[in-house]
C-alpha cells in the first residue's frame, strides 16, 4: 500500500466521527430557521483537511441523496485507478486498401468511451482521415459502439424532460453529448434560426415569427415539434424582447445522433461517401490506421466537476469497468467502485447507480464524503481534484455566488428536494478544511445561504 494511503488512513482514524457531534454554528442555525429548513433535514461536517477533530459534525452518519456531489467519488476513483494522465483512444480502421484517394471498403470508428468527442474534435479526427489521403469511401462509415453494454435509455424517465442535455445517455461513441445548440436571432419580423452542429438528414426551420410578448418561457412559446426528427418544426413564435437566445437541446433521435453527426462532418471536411453511416463492428484482429486520443483525465474531470456534466461523469464511471473488465457496464462499474472504496477506506461504500448524481438511488453520508476529501488532500492527486472543483464566486456552478468569493472550492449538487456541496474551504493562515453540507427536503434550496454562512464561519476558524 503506498505511503500516502497509509498516512490518509491514519489521519482518518481520528477524523470526523471519532469525536462527539459538534453543534452547528449559531449563524448557520439562524439561516436554517429563516429558510424554514429543519435541522433534521440537513447533514453538515467541517474538519481539518489533513485530519483532526471535527469543528462541526451534524448527523454525519445519516444516509442522504447527494445529487451531483457524488461526482466526487466517481472522479477521485478514476484519478486513483486510471491516473491523471489517462486518455481515451478512438481507433480508426481502413477496412480495405486506399488507392488514388479512394478507400475501397469501409471506414470504421470504434468508440471506447471518450467523454469529450465534441464537434471540434470529431472534425480533427476526420481531418486526420483526409490527411492520410482519403477523399472518397466506396463502402460505409461503420460506428462500433460495443465497448459499453447498457440497458435501453429513456431520456424522459428521470424527470419527464427528455430535451434537457443533462438527460442524455452514455454511449461508447458519444459525439458532442448528443446535443444541438439552437441560436435564435431577431431580424426584422422574424427570428433567424441556426442549429449547430449540422446533422445529416435533419432540417430545421430557417426562421420563426417574432411576437410582442414579454420574454418569459420563450422555449415553450416556440411550440417545437420533434415528432419527425428529420424535419423539426416550430409552430409558435419567439418574443422580440428576448434578444438573441441560445437553446441547448438533447436531440430526440439519440440513437442516430452519432451517425447523423459523422455523416455531416465527413461532407464538411470535403469527403465523399458512396455508402451510408451505420452501426457495426470493427474488423477482428485488425490494426487501426490510427488512434485518436482524448484530453487527459485531469482535464476531463474539470469539465465534469466545474459544470456538473452528467453524461461525461457517466462516461468516466463506465470506463472504470471497461478498463478493468474489458466491457463497460453499470453494474461492473458499481462493483469496481465498491471494491476501490473498501480497499482505500474500509467500511461500507456509498451507493452508486450511474456515478453522475442523476439518480434517486445514490446514497452517501457526510462522514464518507469527508473521508474521501481528507484522503485526497494528503495524496499526490490533490492538485488535480481540487483544481476540478468550482471556485466560489469565480467559475463553474458557483460562478454567480457573490459572497465569500474565492474562499472555497466546492462540488455542488442539486435535484428536486436535494441540494448540497462538499469540498474545501480556505481558512486563515493557510489552513484548509473539508466541508460537507447537504439537505434532503422539499425546501432543500434553503441550504444555499446556510452554506454561505458555514463557509464564512469555517474560514475564520483559528
Domain boundary pick from 242, 276, 293: 293
Q: How confident is the model at residue 22 (pLDDT cuts 50, 70, 90)?
A: confident
**pLDDT above 60 (res 18):** no
Q: What is the pLDDT of residue 391?
A: 97
Range 212-224 average pLDDT: 96
- End-of-domain residue from the set 186, 217, 250: 250
Q: Among 371, 358, 312, 445, which residue's Cα sits nearest to residue 66? A: 358
Give me the CATH number covering residue 148.
3.50.80.20
Are 459 and 427 contacting, i.e. CB atoms less than 8 angstroms apart?
A: yes
Residue at 160 is within a domain: no
C-alpha distance across the termini of the chain, in Å: 34
Dist. CA 290–CA 176, nearest whole Å: 21
Q: How many CB atoms lie within 10 A of CB 271?
A: 20
* pLDDT 10s digits, 435-461: 999 999 999 999 999 999 999 999 999
pLDDT of 49 strictly over 70: yes
Q: Is residue 274 part of a domain?
A: yes
Same domain, 315 and 288: no
Instruction: Name the residue among 305, 380, 338 with its Cα closest to residue 85.
Output: 380
The mean predicted confidence, pLDDT, of the chain is: 95
Instruction: Give the number of domains in the chain.
Output: 3
**Confidence band, pLDDT 50/70/90 cuts, at residue 462:** confident
- Measured CA to CA in angstroms, residue 23 lies from 34, 42, 440 at distances of 18, 13, 19
- Please tell me whether residues 303 and 429 are part of one structural domain: yes
Does residue 55 lie in a domain region?
Answer: yes
Domain identity same for 347 and 432: yes
Mean pLDDT of 292-297: 98
- Three-state DSSP class for 360? coil
List, for residues 166-191, the tens digit of each pLDDT value.
999 999 999 999 999 999 999 999 99
**Average pLDDT in the 337-343 region?**
98
* Rounded mean pLDDT, 150-160: 96
Pairing status of strand 238-239 against strand 207-211: parallel
Domain that holds residue 245: 165-250
Q: What CATH number has the domain bearing residue 449? A: 3.40.710.10
Is the model's pLDDT at 4 over the cut of 60? Answer: no
30 and 69: one domain? yes
Q: Can you give the pLDDT at residue 21?
A: 59
Regarding whether 137 and 66 lie in a shared domain, the answer is: no
Average pLDDT, integer, range 78-106: 98
Do 354 and 426 share a domain, yes or no?
Answer: yes
Q: Is the dihedral of CA 415, 420, 423, 425 positive or negative?
A: positive
Inside any domain, residue 5: no
| Cα 417-177-202 angle, rounded to 5 deg | 120
Whose CA is closest to 457, among 37, 26, 38, 43?
26
Is the same domain home to 205 and 75? no
Regarding whether 303 and 423 lie in a shared domain, the answer is yes
pTM score, two decimals?
0.94
Amino acid at each position: 500500500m503506498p505511503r500516502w494511503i497509509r498516512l490518509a488512513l491514519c489521519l482518518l482514524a481520528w477524523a470526523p466521527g471519532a469525536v462527539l457531534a459538534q453543534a452547528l454554528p449559531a449563524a448557520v442555525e439562524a439561516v436554517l430557521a429563516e429558510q424554514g429548513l429543519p435541522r433534521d433535514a440537513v447533514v453538515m461536517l467541517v474538519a481539518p483537511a489533513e485530519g483532526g477533530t471535527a469543528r462541526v459534525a451534524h448527523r454525519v452518519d445519516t444516509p442522504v441523496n447527494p445529487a451531483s456531489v457524488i461526482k466526487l467519488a466517481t472522479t477521485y476513483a478514476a484519478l486513483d485507478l486510471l491516473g491523471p494522465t489517462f486518455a481515451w483512444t478512438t481507433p480508426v480502421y481502413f477496412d480495405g486498401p486506399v488507392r488514388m484517394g479512394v478507400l475501397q471498403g469501409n471506414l470504421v470508428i470504434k468508440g471506447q468511451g471518450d467523454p469529450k468527442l465534441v464537434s471540434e474534435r470529431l472534425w480533427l479526427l476526420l481531418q486526420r482521415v483526409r490527411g492520410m489521403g482519403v477523399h472518397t469511401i466506396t463502402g460505409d462509415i461503420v460506428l462500433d459502439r460495443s465497448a459499453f453494454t447498457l440497458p435501453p435509455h429513456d431520456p424522459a424517465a428521470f424527470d419527464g424532460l427528455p430535451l434537457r442535455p443533462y438527460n442524455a445517455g452514455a454511449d461508447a461513441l458519444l459525439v458532442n453529448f448528443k446535443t444541438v445548440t439552437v441560436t435564435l436571432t431577431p431580424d426584422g419580423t422574424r427570428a433567424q434560426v441556426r442549429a449547430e452542429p449540422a446533422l445529416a438528414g435533419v432540417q430545421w426551420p430557417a426562421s420563426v415569427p417574432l411576437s410582442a410578448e414579454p420574454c418569459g418561457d420563450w422555449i415553450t412559446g416556440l411550440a417545437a415539434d420533434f415528432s419527425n426528427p428529420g424535419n423539426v418544426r416550430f409552430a409558435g413564435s419567439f418574443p422580440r424582447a428576448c434578444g438573441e437566445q441560445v437553446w441547448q437541446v438533447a436531440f430526440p433521435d439519440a440513437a442516430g445522433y452519432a451517425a447523423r453527426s459523422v455523416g455531416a462532418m465527413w461532407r464538411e471536411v470535403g469527403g465523399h461517401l458512396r455508402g451510408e453511416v451505420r452501426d457495426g463492428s470493427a474488423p477482428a484482429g485488425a490494426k487501426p490506421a490510427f488512434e485518436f486520443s482524448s484530453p487527459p483525465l485531469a482535464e476531463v474531470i474539470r469539465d465534469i466537476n466545474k459544470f456538473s456534466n452528467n453524461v461525461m461523469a457517466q462516461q468516466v464511471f463506465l470506463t472504470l469497468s471497461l478498463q478493468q473488465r474489458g466491457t463497460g457496464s453499470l453494474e461492473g462499474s458499481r462493483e469496481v467502485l465498491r471494491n476501490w472504496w473498501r480497499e482505500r477506506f474500509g467500511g461500507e461504500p456509498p451507493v452508486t447507480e450511474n456515478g453522475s448524481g442523476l439518480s434517486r438511488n445514490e446514497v452517501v453520508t457526510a462522514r464518507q464524503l469527508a473521508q474521501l476529501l481528507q484522503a485526497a488532500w494528503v495524496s499526490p492527486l490533490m492538485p488535480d481534484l481540487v483544481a476540478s472543483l468550482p471556485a466560489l464566486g469565480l467559475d463553474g456552478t458557483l460562478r454567480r455566488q457573490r459572497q465569500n468569493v474565492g474562499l472555497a472550492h466546492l462540488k455542488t449538487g442539486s435535484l428536486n428536494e436535494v441540494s448540497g456541496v462538499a469540498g474545501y474551504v480556505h481558512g486563515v493562515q493557510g489552513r484548509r478544511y473539508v466541508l460537507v453540507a447537504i439537505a434532503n427536503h422539499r425546501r432543500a434550496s434553503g441550504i444555499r445561504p446556510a452554506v454561505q454562512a458555514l463557509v464564512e464561519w469555517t474560514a475564520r476558524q483559528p
